[in-house]
Amino acid sequence: RQVASDASFHSVTFSESDHPRVLITGGLGQLGVGLAKLLRKRFGKNNVILSDIRKPADNVFYSGPFIFADILDYKNLREIVVNNRITWLFHYSALLSAVGEANVPLARAVNITGLHNVLDIAAEHNLRLFVPSTIGAFGPTSPRDPTPDLCIQRPRTIYGVSKVHAELMGEYYHYRYGLDFRCLRYPGIISADSQPGGGTTDYAVQIFHDAIKTGKFKCYLRPDTRLPMMYIDDCLKATLEIMEAPAEALTMRTYNINAMSFNPEELAQEVQKYVPELQVTYNVDQVKQAIADSWPMNFDDSNARRDWGWKHDYDLPELVTTMFSYLGSDSR
């Protein structure tokens, strides 16, 4: 039986047996639930399993398959892949930049040891593997304006170091063992119905909630701190697109993707168009500021645009309009 795709940006059709069987690790973070929703529309509800070590909210639990999966437990993860005949794995478990600096041993275990388990299981079971990387995989000696795909990568956070390691290990497994490894370097991701956890770019989500709730926002970065950013729908679209891209289109296995760059002052001005009374103050967090100062200001994603047709839909005004239409600027 042929099943037509309902993802508007693709026109491919699949037979049911062609559908990937998907596992998402770290599925209760900022991106997993939204990704599961997108993939379930495309591949069928029961072909997409969300997993985490935390207990899901009722709406998440009842919207499709959810299981406990601990990426540090090799046997548990392997059993899940085998029992569910998984063919695609999206590996979202990770500690982000700020929280990683606060607990380096845990970040090292989750982001590096966990990745080793995932790589081995993916290679052994012939999975297509997606691992997100980040603007945080660059550091103070990288070109920052713009930052190309291939340049010096000497990050100074455990998060960044672990993501460079993931990029290199994934590519090594690809060339050495034929693992179908695919990786995107995400900018800061902005979403309305899910919260980021422990990143440096989180302020760009928090400002919307504080503008609506209290009309006051205290920013932990300097007003001129420019960083690459993206709306969640663009991020999830790019993730599905790279996973579906024909292997011959990919001249690389790790791509930068981008949509916009702004600093806190520019974002605040755009938010004030909806909440004119918003008061913004700055109380710089030295650890987060140092991290942001070492990251790209503008991200060069021309290779993604050329190789597999990457194109973002949301710029800054569009992003702010969409956030307020979700969060409801009149709910104060």
Cβ proximity to ligand AKB, 159 vs 274, nearer residue: 159
**Catalytic residue at 159?**
yes
Task: Work out which of 25, 47, 111, 134 binds ligand AKB, going by CB under 6 A.
Answer: 134
160 binds ligand AKB per the rule CB under 6 A:
no
Task: Work out which of 80, 96, 183, 267 binds ligand AKB, going by CB under 6 A.
Answer: 96
135 binds ligand AKB per the rule CB under 6 A:
yes
Cβ proximity to ligand AKB, 47 vs 200, nearer residue: 200
Number of residues engaging ligand AKB in binding (CB under 6 A): 12
Q: Determine the Cα–Cα distance for residues 11 and 85; give it in Å rounded to an integer.
A: 26
Q: Determine the distance from the C-alpha atom of residue 108 to the mean position of all C-alpha atoms in its chain, rounded to a whole number.
A: 19
188 binds ligand AKB per the rule CB under 6 A:
yes
Query: Which token pair is 275?
Result: 């909440």
Residue 113 DSSP symbol: I
User: Which is the catalytic residue, given 62, 74, 159, 172?
Assistant: 159
Q: Determine the Cα–Cα distance for residues 257 and 274; give it in Å rounded to an integer.
A: 28
Instruction: Give SS3 for 22.
Output: strand
77 contacts 49 by C-beta, under 8 angstroms: no
16 contacts 34 by C-beta, under 8 angstroms: no
Identify the CA nearest to 207 among candidates 233, 229, 185. 229
Instruction: Give SS3 for 194.
Output: coil
Cβ proximity to ligand AKB, 40 vs 185, nearer residue: 185
Taking CB under 6 A as the binding criterion, the range among 40-48, 113-121, 197-205, 262-270 that sits at the site for ligand AKB is 197-205
Task: Work out which of 26, 199, 264, 296 binds ligand AKB, going by CB under 6 A.
Answer: 199
Residues near ligand AKB (CB under 6 A): 96-97, 134-136, 159, 186, 188, 196, 199-201
